[in-house]
Chain A
């Protein structure tokens, strides 16, 4: 009886670890996809391909801010590899730097929240999106 309890518990722990890994990887992927979609909207306005819309601009920075808050939590030790992840080992070697990079992204996104016209939006959008390449350079492997 006791043994089967152990087996069940053991299986449950194993299964949830696998699940947690898969969840973390898909959650960080979905979050980054949302950031990409927001960047598409933002870039269209910044380049003048779409008219400037203050509400849309705010939505872009809100997506960035929300992602910056959530992202560092999606990298547990159990989700270093798996799926088609392009997470670099450096994330776990330098957690402080990794978190600081997201803190900077969050701060830059917050600055955008005060932009009310196209010129202000362009500046804030440019600053915020510089974080993409800067962070990927260090914490992402090529794919």
Chain B
């Protein structure tokens, strides 16, 4: 009896130790090899800043200057309320003290400079596709923006989601930390589009449905689903009949530039901000994204609730 109890305790201890080792940020999501980087290309950083939609979440709400990245926006989710942090170059309240390695670690591995897991409401699950060089360019651009004072309040997450170690377990199950690898059998344009859509553009983060752990269901990636932020429905952007199947490449590029669908409806909700950002990219990049989207096989996502 006593031996059984000891065995049980040993197993529990091993289990806890295993959890701690496996969910350690350095174990479950090691950052990429950085190597030596050339001098940053600030123009490329600016383009990636637009493509990544950084300002859509991080710009201080209630004012028009999208380069003031003071944070504070409240982001709803089934797991609780997130308060978007300050990523302006302010040394106390923002990321002014972060080195290039810190920034790459956060963007590509979802780990903060303090060695803690970041919540995947910050889409590092997509941003990790950007190479260390691209991320260094992006940071160099952010450093040119105004330093904004003030910290956002802490996230309001109920137990157990408030334990950051839990994210380690989540990463173990759902996180792939590899950077983008071009497909040599496809055109340069297609590869550029695939990179922009899946990486900085993080289109799949909204245009896919998620499982009960909040991870994208890969089988229905890009096939739309309920709006993760609350009300409404995010459309299917695969080549399904009810997706972009009937859209031409130039019609998709036009939507990304002006927000108009082929029927001259104008997209709403957070897609309006996405369009403002995509409009800043060169036309060739919007066409590349359209080229890639036109190659997605037709997939049906969850069915839309019937209208009352």
**B266 interface residue (CB < 8 Å to A):** yes
Chain A 84-111 against B: per-residue CB contact (8 Å), 1 yes, 0 no?
Answer: 1010110000000000000000000000
Given contacts A141-B227, A142-B232, A142-B235, contact A82 B268 (CB under 8 A): no
The residue in chain B whose Cβ has the minimal distance to the Cβ of A136 is B268
Which residues on the B side are within 8 Å of A136 (C-beta)? 259, 266-269, 272
CA distance A56 to B144 in the complex (A): 46
CA distance A142 to B307 in the complex (A): 14
Asked whether B260 lies within 8 Å of A143 as measured between CB atoms, the reply is: no
Other-chain contact of B233, A40, A43, A82, A143 (Cβ < 8 Å): A143
CA distance A143 to B266 in the complex (A): 12
Asked whether B259 lies within 8 Å of A133 as measured between CB atoms, the reply is: yes
B270 to chain A, nearest CB (A): 7
Given contacts A82-B308, A143-B233, contact A132 B270 (CB under 8 A): no
Asked whether B227 lies within 8 Å of A39 as measured between CB atoms, the reply is: no
**A137 interface residue (CB < 8 Å to B):** yes
Chain B residues numbered 226-245 whose CB sits less than 8 Å from any CB in chain A: 227, 231-235
CA distance A35 to B276 in the complex (A): 21
CA distance A132 to B235 in the complex (A): 19
**A5 interface residue (CB < 8 Å to B):** no
Which residues on the B side are within 8 Å of A23 (C-beta)? none
Tell me the interface secondary structure of chain A in the complex. helix
Asked whether B268 lies within 8 Å of A39 as measured between CB atoms, the reply is: no
Chain B: interface residue total (CB-CB under 8 A): 24
Asked whether B234 lies within 8 Å of A137 as measured between CB atoms, the reply is: no
Asked whether A133 lies within 8 Å of B227 as measured between CB atoms, the reply is: no
**B275 interface residue (CB < 8 Å to A):** yes
CA distance A132 to B275 in the complex (A): 12
Which residues on the A side are within 8 Å of B264 (C-beta)? 36-37, 39-40, 43
Other-chain contact of A36, B263, B270, B271 (Cβ < 8 Å): B263
B114 to chain A, nearest CB (A): 35
CA distance A43 to B251 in the complex (A): 13
Which residues on the A side are within 8 Å of B269 (C-beta)? 88, 136-137, 140-142
Chain A interface size, under 10 / 10 to 19 / 20 to 34 / 35 or more: 20 to 34
Asked whether A133 lies within 8 Å of B275 as measured between CB atoms, the reply is: yes
Other-chain contact of A39, B235, B260, B273 (Cβ < 8 Å): B260
Chain B residues numbered 125-172 whose CB sits less than 8 Å from any CB in chain A: none
Which residues on the B side are within 8 Å of A140 (C-beta)? 268-269
Other-chain contact of B232, A40, A82, A86 (Cβ < 8 Å): A86
CA distance A84 to B259 in the complex (A): 21
CA distance A129 to B264 in the complex (A): 11
Asked whether B231 lies within 8 Å of A81 as measured between CB atoms, the reply is: no
B56 to chain A, nearest CB (A): 11
**B65 interface residue (CB < 8 Å to A):** no
B235 to chain A, nearest CB (A): 7
Asked whether B270 lies within 8 Å of A133 as measured between CB atoms, the reply is: no
The residue in chain B whose Cβ has the minimal distance to the Cβ of A39 is B264
Chain B 17-55 against A: per-residue CB contact (8 Å), 1 yes, 0 no?
Answer: 000000000000000000000000000000000000000
The residue in chain A whose Cβ has the minimal distance to the Cβ of B265 is A36
**A83 interface residue (CB < 8 Å to B):** yes
Interface residue ranges, B against A (CB under 8 Å): 227, 231-235, 258-260, 263-273, 275-276, 307-308
> What are 18 sample pairs from A and B whose C-beta atoms fall under 8 A apart?
A37-B264, A40-B264, A82-B308, A84-B307, A86-B232, A86-B268, A88-B268, A88-B269, A133-B272, A134-B272, A136-B259, A137-B273, A140-B268, A141-B232, A141-B268, A142-B234, A142-B269, A143-B233
* 9 closest A-B pairs by CB: A136-B268, A140-B268, A137-B272, A141-B232, A132-B266, A142-B232, A36-B264, A142-B269, A39-B264
